[in-house]
Chains A and B, each alone.
Chain A
Amino acid sequence: MAQSKNAFLNFFSGRKLIIGVPYVWFILLAAIPLLIVLKISLSTMETASVSNMIDWSRGWPSLTLNFSSYQFIASDALYVKTYLSSIKYALITTIICLAIGYPFAYFMARAPKHIQPTLLMLIMLPFWTSFLLRIYAWKTLLVNNGIINNALMSLGVISEPISMMNTPFSLIIGMVYSYLPFMILPLYANLSKLDVRYLEAAADLGTSPLKTFWLVTVPLSKAGIIAGSMLVFIPSIGEYVIPELLGGPNTLMIGRVLWDEFFSNNDWPMASAVAIVMILLILVPMALLNKSQSDQAEIKP
C-alpha cells in the first residue's frame, strides 16, 4: 500500500523523467520510423507517391491494407535465395571473426594490466578513419594491378594477377575487417573479468591447459561469445556498402535487392516489405534466444 503511494508521488519526480528519456528516444527514433515503414509496406505505389492507407473521401475513415508486396516476396524465389545468401555471408563473417577475435581478446585480457589500455586503443584506432575510406583502401590492395598482386608478381610468386576483387573472398575480407572490433570488445570485457582462481583450481586438480580452456574458460565466456557474435551477425546480414564496393555482381545480398526495389523499380511498398521481413528474420531468433536464456536463469537460482 505504502509502496504504491510512493510510486504515485514519484511519478513526476526527476527520476521518472530521467528514466523516461530513453523511452522517448526509442519511440521517436525507432518505433515511429518502423511503423512508417510498416505502413508503406501495406500501401501501393502511385505515379510519384505512395497511396494513402486511410481514405477520408466518404466522410469517414476507411482503411485499406494491401498485402500484395508480401505475397510477391513469397512468390518469387529470388527473395528467399537472397535472404539465405545474406545469412550465409553473415554466418561466415561471424565464424571467422570469432576465430580471430577470441585468441585476440584472450591475450589482450591476459596482457600486463598497464599495457591493456594501449591495446584497447589500438583496437579502436581504425574508427578514427572514415569507414568508407577504409573499405576503399581494401580496393587498392586487392585489385589486379593493386599492391598485393604487384608485390607477389615482382617477387615471382605468381605470373598472372590473382583476381581477388569483386569476389566472395573480397566481400568476406571487408566484412571481417570491419566487424572484427565488435567481436573483440565484448569478448575482452568478458574475459578480463574471468577469475583466474578457477584456472588455478583446475590446474591443481590435474587438468591439462587445453582441457581447462575448453571446460572452464570457454563456458565462462559464453556471454561474451554470444554478444560478440550477435554484434557481428546482425549488421552483416543487412550490409549494403561493403557488398556494393567489394562484392561481385553475383553476390546476392538483401541490401542490394532492397536498393533495386527502392531505386530501379521505384516501388517503395515492396522495398519496405523486404525490410520488414528482414527485421523479422533477425528479431525472431534474437527474441527466442533471449527467452531461452531468461528461462535458464529462472531455473538456476
Chain B
Amino acid sequence: MDMNSTKYLISMALISIGLVTTSCGKQEAETTEAKPDAAAAAAPVAAGDEEKVLNIYNWSDYLAEDTIPNFEKETGIKVRYDVFDSNEILHAKLMAKNTGYDIVVPSSNWAKLQIDGGLLQKLDKSKLTNYGNLDPDILAQMANLDPGNEYMVDWLWSYTTVGINVDKVKTALGDMPMPENAWDLVFDPKYTSKLKSRGITFLDAPSEVFPIALRYVGKAPHSNNADDYKVAYEMLAKVRPDIKKFSSGGQIDDLAGGNVCVALGWAGDFNLARNRSIENKSPQNIEALITSMGGYMFMDTMVIPADAKHVDNAHKFINYILRPEVHAGLTNAVTYANPNKAATQFVDEEVRNNKTIFLPAEDVKKLIPPGNVDNATRRVMTRYFTQFKTGA
C-alpha cells in the first residue's frame, strides 16, 4: 500500500468528517436556533403597516398553552416562539447581534448589562395601556437596575432556593431533624453526606450559585472581592463529593422522576416538578423551601432588542401579557409569581395560597436582590466554579 492511497484515504476521511460535522451543526441549528426569516417570509405584509410577525425568545417551560394561540387569533400576528435555558446563552446571542428576535426575556441583572451595552431599546409606554396593572413594589425593585423602568417589563419572578423530595429526605436523614436554615441541606457536609445516596443536584451556572454561597459564608452576595469567592469556594468544595449532577434545564424531570431528592434551583421549577410528577401518575412530595437565610430573587423581564424589526408587535404582545387574565394564566400554568396586581383574582386559589410561589412580604425582604459583579470578578467566579465542579 503506497503513500498516495494514505493521503487519498485521509482526505476522503476529512471530507466525510466535514460533511458529518456540518450536518450535525445544521441539526442543532434547526432544533435550537430560531428561523425568524422563514416565518417572516411566510406571513403576508400589510401595506403601510408592520408585517404580522413576532419573534420571541423565552425560557423553556415558561408559558401557558393558550397564551400564544389566543394572541395570534386576536391580532392575526404570527408568533415564532423559541426557548433557551440560561441567561448566558441569551446574552451571547444578543452580543452577536441580528438575533431576529423582537422580544427576549433575560433576568433583570442580565438585562442591565445589555442596557449598558446598548443592546436594548426603550419601551414606548404610551402603547402599554395595561401598564398600570403592575405592582408598584415590584416596579420599585426593578428600578434599582433600570431607573425609571424604561426598558424592562417583568414576565414572571421567583427565587433560587432549596427544593426537596420531602419523603425521601426524611428517610435519608433518619432521626436527624431538618436544619433551621434549609441551606444546610446543600451546603453542610453533615447533611449532604446523608442525602448523597438519594441524589443532590445544583444549578449549572456560577452566577446562580455564588451569590447564595457568598451569603451563606457571611460575605456580600455580589462581592467584587476575589478573596470572598475563595472562602465560598472552600465551603462548596467540602460538599462537592456529595453532589450528583449540575443542570439548569433538567431539574424538573430529575425531581419529578425521583432521580434526585435535593436541588439547589428555582422555586417555580420545584412546584412545577411536583405537578408534573402528579401528571405522570407517580406523585412525588416535592416542596420548595422558604429558608431563614433567604434565597436569590430573580425577575425575568421582557425587553426589546435594539435591532428588533417588529417593535409595534412587540409592544402589542407585552400589553397583551399585562392583561390580568393572561398574566394570571401564566402563573397558573408554570407556578411562578407574576408582578400583576390586577391578576391576583384570576389566579387559581391553590396557587394563590401557595406561600412558596407568592412569598409573604417579610420573606421577600430576606431575598438577595438581583445584581451584578464586574468583569474581572466574573472570571474569578467562573474559575472557582470550574474548580468546584471538576477539582481542576
- Which A residues form the contact surface with B (CB < 8 A)? 45, 47-49, 76-78, 81-82, 127, 130-132, 143-145, 166, 182, 185-186, 189-190, 220-224, 226-228, 230-231, 234-235, 241, 249-252, 257, 260, 262-267, 290, 293-294, 296-297
User: Across chains A and B, which 7 residue pairs bring their CB atoms closest together, nearest first?
Assistant: A48-B117, A223-B6, A263-B88, A227-B9, A297-B3, A231-B13, A264-B382
7 contacts between A and B (CB under 8 A): A48-B117, A48-B119, A182-B20, A220-B1, A226-B9, A227-B6, A231-B17
Give the contacts of B1-39 with A (CB-CB under 8 A).
Answer: 1-7, 9-10, 12-14, 16-17, 20-21, 24, 27-28, 31
B133 interface contact, C-beta 8 A = no
List the A side residues contacting B95 at CB < 8 Å. 48-49, 266
List the B side residues contacting A228 at CB < 8 Å. 13
Comparing B158-166, B179-187, B351-359, B383-391, the segment that makes contact with chain A is: B383-391
B257 interface contact, C-beta 8 A = yes
Q: Are the C-beta atoms of B378 and A266 separated by less than 8 Å?
A: yes
Q: Are the C-beta atoms of A265 and B382 separated by less than 8 Å?
A: yes
Majority SS at the chain A contact face: helix
List the A side residues contacting B378 at CB < 8 Å. 264-266
Q: Are the C-beta atoms of B390 and A252 separated by less than 8 Å?
A: yes
**Of B10, B16, B28, which is in contact with the most chain A CB atoms at under 10 Å from its CB?**
B10
List the A side residues contacting B245 at CB < 8 Å. 166, 249
A246 to B392, alpha carbons, bound, how many Å? 20
Q: Are the C-beta atoms of A223 and B9 separated by less than 8 Å?
A: yes
- A to B contact number (C-beta, < 8 Å): 129
B126 interface contact, C-beta 8 A = no
A-B contact sample (5 more), CB < 8 A, given A144-B259, A231-B14, A266-B375 = A47-B117, A185-B16, A221-B1, A231-B17, A263-B88
- Which B residues form the contact surface with A (CB < 8 A)? 1-7, 9-10, 12-14, 16-17, 20-21, 24, 27-28, 31, 86, 88-89, 91-92, 94-95, 113-114, 116-119, 204-207, 243-246, 257-259, 375, 378-379, 382-383, 385-387, 389-392
Identify B386's interface contact among A78, A143, A182, CB under 8 A: A78
Identify B2's interface contact among A48, A185, A297, CB under 8 A: A297
Q: Are the C-beta atoms of A249 and B392 separated by less than 8 Å?
A: no
Q: Are the C-beta atoms of A48 and B114 separated by less than 8 Å?
A: yes
A106 to B94, alpha carbons, bound, how many Å? 51
Closest to A250 in B: B390
**Of B13, B21, B244, B389, which is in contact with the most chain A CB atoms at under 10 Å from its CB?**
B13
List the A side residues contacting B386 at CB < 8 Å. 78, 257, 260
List the B side residues contacting A76 at CB < 8 Å. 383
List the B side residues contacting A293 at CB < 8 Å. 3, 6-7
**Of A77, A144, A221, A264, which is in contact with the most chain B CB atoms at under 10 Å from its CB?**
A264
Identify A264's interface contact among B7, B88, B94, CB under 8 A: B88
Q: Are the C-beta atoms of A263 and B1 separated by less than 8 Å?
A: no
Identify A223's interface contact among B5, B21, B31, B94, CB under 8 A: B5
Closest to B27 in A: A130
Q: Are the C-beta atoms of A250 and B9 separated by less than 8 Å?
A: no
List the A side residues contacting B385 at CB < 8 Å. 264
Q: Are the C-beta atoms of B382 and A182 separated by less than 8 Å?
A: no
A92 to B259, alpha carbons, bound, how many Å? 30
Identify A249's interface contact among B92, B114, B246, CB under 8 A: B246
Q: Are the C-beta atoms of B259 and A132 separated by less than 8 Å?
A: no
Q: Are the C-beta atoms of A226 and B113 separated by less than 8 Å?
A: no
Q: Are the C-beta atoms of A235 and B17 separated by less than 8 Å?
A: yes
Identify A294's interface contact among B3, B28, B116, B387, CB under 8 A: B3
A276 to B198, alpha carbons, bound, how many Å? 42
Q: Are the C-beta atoms of A265 and B6 separated by less than 8 Å?
A: no
Least Cβ–Cβ distance between A193 and chain B, in angstroms: 8
Whether A186 contacts B117 in the complex (CB less than 8 A), given A249-B246, A263-B92, comes out as no
List the B side residues contacting A222 at CB < 8 Å. 1, 6
